[in-house]
Amino acid sequence: MYERILVPVDGSPFSEEVLPYARSIAQAIGAKLALMRVTEREAEQDEASQQLQALAGGLQAEARVVPGRDNVAAAILEEASRVQGTLVAMTTHGRSGLAEAILGSVAHDVVRTGRNPVLVYRPSGRRVDKSAEPVKINTVMLPIDGSGHSEWMQQEAGEWARALKARLLVIQVISPDARPDPQVPPNDALESSYVRSHAVDLGRQYGVEANWEVLHGEPVDAMARFIGGRRDLLVVMATRGRAGLQAAVLGSVTAGLLREAGVPIVVRMP
Q: Domain residues for 150? A: 139-268
**Residues 107 and 150 occupy one common structural domain:** no
Kind of pairing between the strands at 86-91 and 62-67? unpaired
Higher-pLDDT residue of 187 and 95 is 95
- Residue at 127 is within a domain: no
- Residue at 133 is within a domain: no
* Count of structural domains within the chain: 2
**Residues 146 and 264 occupy one common structural domain:** yes
- Residue at 130 is within a domain: no
pLDDT at 185: 47
Q: Which of 84, 90, 110, 85 is nearest to 36 (CA)?
A: 90
Return the DSSP state at 211. Answer: E
- Residue at 229 is within a domain: yes
Q: In what side-by-side order are the strands of the sheet with 32-39?
A: 62-67, 32-39, 4-8, 86-91, 118-121, 265-268, 233-238, 139-143, 167-174, 210-216
- Residue at 128 is within a domain: no
**Residues 249 and 208 occupy one common structural domain:** yes
**Residues 101 and 143 occupy one common structural domain:** no
Task: Indicate yes or no: pTM above 0.85.
Answer: yes
Least confident range of 9-23, 87-101, 147-161: 87-101
pLDDT at 180: 52
Specify burial of residue 31 (Cβ count, 10 A radius: 0-12, 13-18, 19+): buried
pLDDT digits (tens, 9 = 90+) for 118-141: 999 998 876 666 656 789 999 999
**Residues 144 and 259 occupy one common structural domain:** yes
**Residues 203 and 100 occupy one common structural domain:** no
Least confident range of 24-38, 74-88, 138-152: 138-152
pLDDT digits (tens, 9 = 90+) for 141-184: 999 987 777 788 999 999 999 999 999 999 999 877 755 545 44
Average pLDDT, the chain: 84
- Residue at 132 is within a domain: no
**Residues 164 and 259 occupy one common structural domain:** yes
pLDDT at 187 over 70: no
pLDDT at 130: 60
pLDDT digits (tens, 9 = 90+) for 227-244: 999 999 999 998 764 443
At residue 49 the predicted structure's pLDDT band, cuts being 50, 70 and 90, is very high
pLDDT at 45 over 80: yes
At residue 11 the predicted structure's pLDDT band, cuts being 50, 70 and 90, is confident
CATH of the domain at 189: 3.40.50.620
**Residues 96 and 216 occupy one common structural domain:** no
At residue 246 the predicted structure's pLDDT band, cuts being 50, 70 and 90, is very low
Give percent of the chain above pLDDT 70.
82
- Residue at 239 is within a domain: yes
Alpha helices (runs of H) in 147-269, residue ranges in sequence order? 148-151, 154-164, 188-206, 219-227, 252-260
**Residues 19 and 113 occupy one common structural domain:** yes
**Residues 18 and 68 occupy one common structural domain:** yes
Point out which residues pair with 163 in neighbouring strands.
none
**Residues 169 and 258 occupy one common structural domain:** yes
**Residues 104 and 182 occupy one common structural domain:** no
- Residue at 212 is within a domain: yes
